[in-house]
Each structure stands twice: as structure tokens, then as C-alpha cells.
Amino acid sequence: MIQRSRSRFAIGATAFAALVLAAAVASAQDRPVTTTPGAGATVKVNVSGDMVIEYVGRSREVTAYTESVSNPPPIIGGNPSDSEPETTFEGHVAMRIAAELSEKIGAVVEFGTRRVDNALLLEHDGEAAQAVRLREAHVLLNELFAPELRAQLGMTTWSFNVRGQGGALAFDPRRAQSINRNFDAIAVSVTSPLNGEEAISDRLVGAGFPNELQTMGAVFTYSSGPVQVDLVLLPGIVEGGRPNGDEALYALDLLLNLDDSVSKGSRAGIIAALSSFETQGNEHARVYTLGGGGSLRFMDGALEVYAEGYVQSGKVGVDGTAAADDVDAAGTAFQVGAQWRHALGNPMPVWAGVNFTLISGDGDTSAGDDKADRFSAYESVNDLMILEDPYYGYDWDSNLQVFKVNAGLALSVAGGKDNLEISAILGVAEAVEEIGAAPNQEDKIGNEIDLKVRWLLSKQASISFALAYLTGSDILEAAMLAGGADGAAGNNSAEDKAYVWSLGADLKF
């Protein structure tokens, strides 16, 4: 758990205040930031910031499994049946300094608070929520050995996203949780197989450990014409002390710009990656992930059709037999979809899209089975607030098949242009493998509909409202019923529905 130290908070807050004051003075004087005499070659220093404040409401079915104020998650002793609806203030404040030290060397440092950290959802009234931390720090080296080669060293921001928008299905470690999140949920011991039956609340229990990784390492990028190649070396995704105890990721990807052969914005990519980590029982694991996809745009970019898929192999751990045989990774994930965007007039943009995503789960129950079919990687998809978003809901990212339909438009109000965005999304989700012990197995995750409204007051400020409602979740209802004494048969408090809403503001400066 986080040590909520008052002294650390005071020191961090003082440092952050000093940064804000320095930026304000520099801006007021309207002069370049002055560096030390020995750093006279500095070309430019840009200071910017971001502040997000949200008032969030969650139903008891959500707080039962997320890291809430009134009730701890079940895995650390909380009883889902004791949960209550909650409203909390959440968000973050950040100050970013980007320096061009020369034409070929740059650096970025960002300080501020975090929204989630170390399995805690940081509500505004807690000291941990107000503690200032290092959010980002890396050095940029351009024209490294060759004009086409550049490097990013430190806390890297690399991701593999063929579409170039939305969340990444498999590789966005900076905005994801540990790969262990899905593999550790499958018990490993001498009496229980690693790929054993998934308990009715396993997928929900994982929501009690929100986090954002601070990936450390290096990314080397070679760009020439339509081709971009990334060599990703991240030995310190999660620090474990000894080298074999660290969670690490090594990858090689290739992106090909297809502007000339299709239309602007089209591209394709492939990736090969090795994930090294420990599962429960201190069993060292190595999982290989291969995949790729493409995004094709037509009608001058108005229509996008995309698809991507991944397969996994390698060793996840050992099974529950006396021989302790290896259990092999065998997960798969893919998505296909289309997105259309058009201007009706003035220009009033409208958009609509469909998406189908499947991420494999594990339905095996025998101790001698040697396959772990559950897919696990570094995804950052958060289209659905309750089911997929790590800040608001369950962050369900394995044993999932979901069909999503979205639509929206932008209106011009109060003298602005396309400054009121209204959007909605419907998701129909099921578990790929039924969850729970026979005969009480369930596969219906539920139907979720989200409505979002965002008013752009300026290019730098906006206010927003979002409402998400989940219904028909047999898995959620069964999990609440199984929660404890209050969840006995006939308990009318167990529901198959849940809600989340938020009202917030985002200010960039």
C-alpha cells in the first residue's frame, strides 16, 4: 500500500508550486526562460499544464469491486454486499516542461498528481491524491548516427496502435496495467492449476487494482519515407529488484504508410514482442506476442475500415500436477470495425461506427491441462465507461467478446464553431468462456449504453458530462449474490445493473 506521508506531500506540493510560479513569472515577463550560464546552448523551453477535475458517481455494484472509499475490494477483505453508492471528486494536475537543448537533443519532464497509483483510485480528499509525483521524463535524441534515426530514453511514451486513434488493443504500456493482471488471476499452486476455472468474480476483482505503469527504457525509431521501424527495449516496466524479477517488454514493430496506394491516413503494421515477468509462485514467465493489422481510409478519409489481431505463445507458469509441467500461453485477440465521419453543413460534423472485439479467456478446469488460453497484454481501450475504463469502472480486458455501435455529432452553440459534441455508444458484451462453477455458470457480461456531452469553451478549456448504464449482467448479479452473508439466496439487493456518471472540467494552459 502507499505510505501517505505528510512530509512527502508537503515537499512535493512545494516543488510543484515553485514550478507553477516560475512558469507564471516567465509568461508575465514575455521573455525566453533563462538557463544557467553553462547551458547557454538551450534553444527553447516550453512550459504547459493540464488540470482535470471531475465529480463522479458510481452505483454500489461498481464500488463493490473497484477501489472505493466505503468498502475495500473483495480480494483484500471487502464484502461486495456491503458496498454503497458513492460520489467523489477525482482528477489530476500536471506541469510539463519541454526543452530543446539543441537542434538534435531535447528533454521532457512532467510533474503532477496522478489519477490512479499503486492499486489506489485517488479521490481528491486523500493525501495520496494530492502528492506530486514524476509523471514523465525522457530525453529525445534526433539524427542519432543517421538523419533517419531517433531515440527516446527514460519514461517512454511508445505504443503500437495501427489506427493512430482510440485505445491500443495490445501495446500501450504507459496507459495500461501489468501483464500479470490476467495471468495472476489464474491460481498457481501444487493443488490448483494455473489455467484453472475462472471464478464468478475473477474478472470483477481485478478492477480493485487500478494502475498506470511508469515504463522505463529506450525506444529507437527509424523513419524513411513511408516506413517506420521501432526497436523497443523496456527492461523496467515493473521493478522487481533482481533482473529476473522485473517485468520487461522487448518489441520490434514496423508501420507502413499507405497514403500513396490507398488514401491519406491509411497504414498497416506488424509487431513481434517478448514479455518477461513473474506469475504467482515466483514462476518466471516469457510470453511471445505476434500480430498486426491495418487501417484503410476511403472517400477522402471519411470512411475508415480497420482490423488487427494477435496470438500468444511461450511459457506462463506451471500446472497443478505433481510433475509441475509447463503451462503454455495460447491467448488470442482481434478486432474489426469501421468508422464514418461526414460534415452535413456549416459544417456540423457527424460520425458513426461499429466494432467487434474478441479477447480470449480460459475455460479449462483440469489440473493437467497445459494451455493458458487467456490473452493478456498492455491494452488501453476505454470506449465503455463501466466495462472497459480503468478510471470509472471494471477495466474488463480478458475473456471478452463485445459488439459496439457508436454515433455522434458536433453543434455550434454560443457563438462557437462545432463546440458542442454529443455522442453515444452501445456495447453488447459476453464472456468468451462461461464463468463460475457448474451448474451455475454465466456468460452474459451485459449491455452498456453511454451518453457523453462535451462543451468546448475554447481550444484550451472544456466541460463535460457522461452517463453510463449497464443492464442484463448475469455475471454481475451472480457475483453480488456470492459476495457474503448479505448475498444469500433470495437477497433482493443483488442487481444485474450498474451506473456511472461524471461531471467535469479540463483546462490546458
Q: What is the pLDDT of residues 354-405, one digit of tens each?
A: 999 999 988 765 555 677 788 999 999 999 999 999 899 999 988 899 999 9
- 22 φ/ψ angles, rounded to the nearest 5 degrees: -60, -40
420 by DSSP, 3-state: which?
A: strand
Predicted pLDDT of residue 179: 86
Q: What is the CA radius of gyration of the chain?
A: 24
> 175, 158 in Cβ contact below 8 A?
no
- Interacting residues of 482 by C-beta distance below 8 A, sequence separation 6+: 200, 201
- Interacting residues of 444 by C-beta distance below 8 A, sequence separation 6+: 430, 431, 472, 473, 474, 475
CA gap 425, 283 in Å, rounded: 41
Residues in a beta bridge with 46 = 98
Closest Cα to residue 53, out of 478, 484, 462, 470? 462
**The C-alpha cell that represents 104 in the structure block:** 538534435
Strands (E), 319-399: 326-329, 332-343, 349-359, 371-372
**The C-alpha cell that represents 9 in the structure block:** 506531500
Q: Which residues of the chain have pLDDT under 50?
A: 1-31, 185-197, 484-491
Predicted pLDDT of residue 27: 43
Predicted pLDDT of residue 482: 66
Predicted pLDDT of residue 226: 93
b/e sequence 187-206, b meaning 16+ C-beta within 10 Å: bbeeeebbbbbbbbbbbbbb
Structural element, H or E, at residue 324: none
Closest Cα to residue 75, out of 479, 497, 377, 493? 479
Peptide bond into 347 cis (omega under 30): yes
Predicted pLDDT of residue 282: 53
**SS3 per residue for 203-245:** HHHHHHCCCCCCCEEEEEEEEECCEEEEEEEEEEEECCCCHHH
Please compute, for residue 84, the number of CA atoms within 13 A of its CA located in the half-sphere on the CB side.
6
> 229, 214 in Cβ contact below 8 A?
no
Closest Cα to residue 238, out of 298, 297, 278, 289? 278
Q: Rounded to the nearest 5 degrees, what angle is found at the Cα of 482, between the Cα atoms of 481 and 485?
A: 85
Peptide bond into 439 cis (omega under 30): yes
Instruction: Report the 10 Å Cβ neighbour count for 492.
Output: 5
**SS3 per residue for 370-384:** CEECCCCCECCCCCC
Structural element, H or E, at residue 103: none
Domains belonging to the chain, first-starting first, are 35-45+61-87+143-508 (2.40.160)
CA gap 436, 201 in Å, rounded: 8
Q: What is the pairing mode between strands 133-141 and 349-359?
A: unpaired
What's the pTM value of the predicted model, to 2 decimals?
Answer: 0.85
| Residues shown for the chain | 509
Q: What is the pairing mode between strands 247-257 and 227-238?
A: antiparallel
Closest Cα to residue 158, out of 413, 380, 395? 380
Q: In sequence order, what DSSP letters do the residues of 30-63 get, joined into one string?
A: TSPPP--GGGTT--EEEEEEEEEEEEEEE-HHHH
Placement of cell 493478456 in the chain? 376
Predicted pLDDT of residue 19: 46
> 108, 96 in Cβ contact below 8 A?
yes
Predicted pLDDT of residue 1: 33
> 200, 438 in Cβ contact below 8 A?
no
**The C-alpha cell that represents 49 in the structure block:** 499544464
Predicted pLDDT of residue 328: 84
> 247, 222 in Cβ contact below 8 A?
no
Predicted pLDDT of residue 116: 83
- Interacting residues of 248 by C-beta distance below 8 A, sequence separation 6+: 234, 235, 236, 237, 275, 276, 277
